[in-house]
Structure 1
Amino acid sequence: MAISELQMGLVGAGGIVVVCIFAFNKWQERKQRKQAELAAGGGAQAPVLSEMPADQGTRTRMEPVIGGEAAARAQPSAKTLSDASARRVPPLLPPEVDERADWVVRIESIEPVVAGRLWQASAQPLETITKPVRWFGFSDLDNRWESIGANSGNSYHWVCAALQLVDRRGPAGDADLNRLADGLQHMCDMFMAIPSVPAKGEALVRAAELDRFCAGVDIQIGVNVVAREHLFVGTKLRGLAEVAGLELWSDGCFHARDELGNSLFVLSNLEPNLFVAEDMRTLTTQGVTLMLDVPRVADGVRVFERMMSLAQQLADGLNGAVVDDNRSPFGEKAVGLIRAQIEQFQGQMGEYGIAPGSVLARRLFS
């Protein structure tokens, strides 16, 4: 069949259109390539998608950063990021911290910060907190948490602040947790650090429960040695106490100590005056009191028996009598009841996971 001039014209026009489309696509491709080269500072030619290896076409796209070179300079250097990724992530809590009794805020800093500077920066914001706050820094060199204070000169990437939730004044309140969180956030803003603040509601519930338990086992046993006829003389009293291994501390009491130096029980003046070494030569008193703080000692029955033995030694040496707070004589029946109480309460502490006389027990019952 013959092809008319009209048909030939249409075929030619179609070919021209196809050529134009192909040329336009090539021009767009070259334009995009030029733009990529200019953006790269005239470096090597950036491949178009069709020229990339198959596994690169699906990689995550990098979004542009507002601010250009200034924003790029504000980012951590490659070496800083490399050092950060190479650092060991510390254990969640220092061994001295107990998650039942402490509310712990961990702080991470890309650049190491001197511990003393952190302490000083947070001192004023945290001074109104009613509970003890302890600080720890993670040593990258020794791979361990270590206690830090106002004069600590070491630098750390990881620091944590531990707020004690319970003591003998009661549980921590919402105000204490808020003051700690706000104070640490202010400090972190100064040093470009990042705090990790745990849930407050859960900590408050935990504190209330722990405080209820502690209140139920918090007992102190006291026994008095009172003069029968003549007042006790300070020099003789001091001599008997020191022979028994007690030491006069700055709090005005004689202390019996364990092998670690912790106080087991105290001997104090029954009268308001404290015992002072320089005044013992002229001191006279109507009596003394021996006091055992049951949750703060291990093996409470043994410590109680030692305390009662000393009370009797003092009574014999000073011509006194061993009595209770009502001035009634201490008999074997009363001693037996006290032994049973000590065993009961210290047993409850052990079942709850707070060993009597442990570091945790001494913190909670302070």
Structure 2
Amino acid sequence: MAISDLQMGLVGAGGVVVVGIFAFNKWQERKHRKQMDALDNVQPLGGEASSRPASADRLEPVIGGEAPARPQPSAQDVKDASARRVPPLLPVDVDERADWVVRIEAIEPVVGGRLWQAATEQLDGLAKPLRWFGFSDTDNRWELVGANTAASYHWVCAALQLVDRRGPASDGDLTRLGAGLQRMCDLFMAIPSLPAKADALTRAADLDRLCAGVDIQIGVNVVARDQGFAGTKLRGLAEAAGLELMSDGSFHARDELGVSQFVLSNLEPVLFAAEEMRGLVTQGVTLTLDVPRVADGVRVFERMMGVAQQLADALGGAVVDDNRSPFGDKAVGLIRAQIEQFQGQMAEQGIAPGSPLALRLFS
């Protein structure tokens, strides 16, 4: 007898329902197991360990005869299940001193881009930067997840930065993140493992105090003596010294990785722009070194002072501080000592000046 299109459609729909129920049951089972595991770690009031067996499989009652033997999983099944249950180590550029890290286990693989989009909708309004990573079972490594990520993952982690130049993360930030992640995970039948908020807030406050104590910038000015500096000549000198005019309206001295070492900006409240440099005249420029964001700060400072003096000599200006006092050898020596002191304090705390972690904390 021929099967009608309607019958075939019903069969297909039934298959989809079965798959959905199966995945939902797996999700519920995994959530229940995590809850029971948490209970296993709670000690009774008397201080004795729980008498419940650590692994008590549920056995269904059997009427007449012996219970059927459980099917034995293959070695590959065991390996795959184990890989999904055991959280991989954190990504190398995540630091639990500076990040509140939430591991997320998905029952079925989740497309990274879909998860990122859902997270963006659920977590709108976070005050601190949030990064997403997915663990590639194929390459055995973490990958940065963004809006266009097409790969799918069983393990995902969200890393909220706890400290930046605006201060430490608040209890409200962590609460908002936790609630938003739970809503997002419910959409994908995933299970988040939220770390303790109190510990993270304490770490954030301690780290913020450390960062505040070493967060200094060194600035020197080159001011005109008689006539203002012509924009065309100023640009030529800056570019000859290896500086590049960027979209923020300042010239940047950058290292081989493109990270700014120091910045040359207009002393007057006008940004530099390539198309306007020809007609620009300014009474001075400022060179600024952001100490925590550069490696070997003394070397960078000396290069910056060299550029400042070159500009002063070529433009008929003078190198002065914010009080318009000339820079002498004594002032330069004090600044060198300060840079060494503050960068040494950072290194002692495991935050290398100019490192990716430092660039995140001092942003």
Which residue of the partner structure matches residue 311 of structure 1? Answer: 308
Q: Does the aligned pair in 2 maintain the 1:90–1:144 contact within 8 Å?
A: no
Residue identity opposite 1:256 in structure 2: A
Which residue of the partner structure matches residue 149 of structure 2? Answer: 152
Question: Between Structure 1 and Structure 2, whose CA radius of gyration is higher?
Answer: 1
The residue matched to 1:353 in structure 2 has which SS? coil
Would you say 1:91 and 2:88 are equivalent positions? yes
Partners of 2:284 and 2:206 in 1: CA distance: 40
* 1:63 Cα deviation after fit: 4.2
Would you say 1:250 and 2:250 are equivalent positions? no
Higher mean alpha-carbon deviation, 86-95 vs 157-166, is at 86-95
Alignment of 1:1-366 (within 5 A): 60-63=57-60, 84-85=80-81, 87=83, 89-366=86-363
Residue identity opposite 1:212 in structure 2: R
The residue matched to 1:117 in structure 2 has which SS? helix
Residue identity opposite 1:131 in structure 2: K
Higher mean alpha-carbon deviation, 315-324 vs 82-91, is at 82-91
Report the TM-score when normalising by structure 1.
0.78
Q: Does the aligned pair in 2 maintain the 1:248–1:255 contact within 8 Å?
A: yes
Alpha-carbon deviations, 1:293-315, whole Å to 9, x = none? Answer: 00000000000000000000000
Partners of 2:135 and 2:190 in 1: CA distance: 15
Partners of 1:340 and 1:174 in 2: CA distance: 38
Residue identity opposite 1:108 in structure 2: E
Partners of 1:361 and 1:305 in 2: CA distance: 21
Q: Once superposed, which parts of structure 1, at least 4 consecutive aligned residues long, lie more than 2 Å away?
A: 78-84, 86-92
* 1:126 Cα deviation after fit: 1.4
Alpha-carbon deviations, 1:37-85, whole Å to 9, x = none? Answer: xxxxxxxxxxxxxxxxxxxxxx955147xxxxxxxxxxxxx89976741
Partners of 2:245 and 2:121 in 1: CA distance: 35
| Structure 1 residues not aligned, in runs of 5+ | 1-58, 65-77
Partners of 1:339 and 1:317 in 2: CA distance: 25
Partners of 2:193 and 2:60 in 1: CA distance: 28
Partners of 2:97 and 2:224 in 1: CA distance: 46
Partners of 2:336 and 2:79 in 1: CA distance: 59
* 1:289 Cα deviation after fit: 0.2
Report the TM-score when normalising by structure 2.
0.79
Q: Does the aligned pair in 2 maintain the 1:116–1:150 contact within 8 Å?
A: yes
The residue matched to 2:177 in structure 1 has which SS? helix
* 1:110 Cα deviation after fit: 1.7
Alpha-carbon deviations, 1:73-132, whole Å to 9, x = none? Answer: xxxxx8997674153645331101001000000101121111111111111221211000
| Structure 2 residues not aligned, in runs of 5+ | 1-55, 62-72
Which residue of the partner structure matches residue 66 of structure 2? Answer: none
Which residue of the partner structure matches residue 53 of structure 1? Answer: none
* 1:230 Cα deviation after fit: 0.5
Partners of 2:295 and 2:98 in 1: CA distance: 19
The verdict on how the C-alpha distance between 1:62 and 1:259 changes in structure 2, with shifts beyond 3 A counting, is same
The residue matched to 2:127 in structure 1 has which SS? coil
Which residue of the partner structure matches residue 67 of structure 2? Answer: none
Q: How many residues align?
A: 295
The verdict on how the C-alpha distance between 1:61 and 1:281 changes in structure 2, with shifts beyond 3 A counting, is closer
Q: Does the aligned pair in 2 maintain the 1:125–1:179 contact within 8 Å?
A: no
Identity over aligned pairs, percent: 77
Partners of 2:311 and 2:341 in 1: CA distance: 29
